[in-house]
Chain A
């Protein structure tokens, strides 16, 4: 298993940039995912990192440092529709050829005008 920590809530202004951090502790790291979840809806996949560095996808970027057990999700040019919870999830090796994906508790982002 692993401990995954991310801030509970954040607020940012429309048009601005926000960074959501995630720290984790795991013994068999096999990738880190970010999901977006709007209230009352299912989580949807945003990004995946398995090697150190930055992955960019339009307005969204995700960074990983395996040595530090640290990732962040960067959202640029914030829009009102970006108000949602952002879930950090870590996959690690759980033995017997099996991997498990464990989710953090999520960061609720509110975008204000």
Chain B
């Protein structure tokens, strides 16, 4: 079991460029999440999905789009990257949202926007 896999692990973008972060999970989880983590801010939820074909906004969704075309994949897109989007991005998944359902994280993607 690979668990939650994110690609790429590192990326440098110029302001205004676009890119997509890919997340795949092999645990047959219904729920998937994208978080960003910044120094002094903790983990903040960008978008999440409660099942194939569904997406919802989290705490900090502006500047990002997501898609969940297949149950195992959750894509995070930056249409026009800004320096404020320099961060570490974590994808995560869980079986559900009921009590005790643990969230499992990918290894993170380090994104720098210059």
Contacts and interface: CB of A to CB of B under 8 A. Distances in A.
Interface of A: 1, 30-31, 33, 40-45, 48, 50, 87, 89, 91, 98-106
Q: Does more than half of chain B's interface fall in helix, strand or loop, or is it mixed? A: loop
Interface residues of B, number: 24
Contacts of B99: 30-31, 50, 91
Contacts of A101: 45, 103
Nearest to A99: B97
Contacts of A33: 102-103
A42 B56 CA distance: 23
B100 A45 contact: no
A103 B43 CA distance: 6
Contacts of A98: 50, 56, 97
A93 B94 CA distance: 16
Among B44, B45, B97, the one with the most A-chain Cβ atoms within 10 Å of its Cβ is B97
Given A98-B50, A102-B45, A104-B42, A42 B97 contact: no
Interface of B: 35, 40-45, 48, 50, 56, 58-59, 90, 97-100, 102-108
B37 to A, nearest CB: 9
Contacts of B103: 33, 45, 101
Among B42, B48, B59, B98, the one with the most A-chain Cβ atoms within 10 Å of its Cβ is B42
B58 A105 contact: no
B76 to A, nearest CB: 16
A87 B43 CA distance: 9
B42 A42 contact: no
B100 A31 contact: yes
Nearest to B50: A98
A103 B45 CA distance: 9
B36 to A, nearest CB: 11
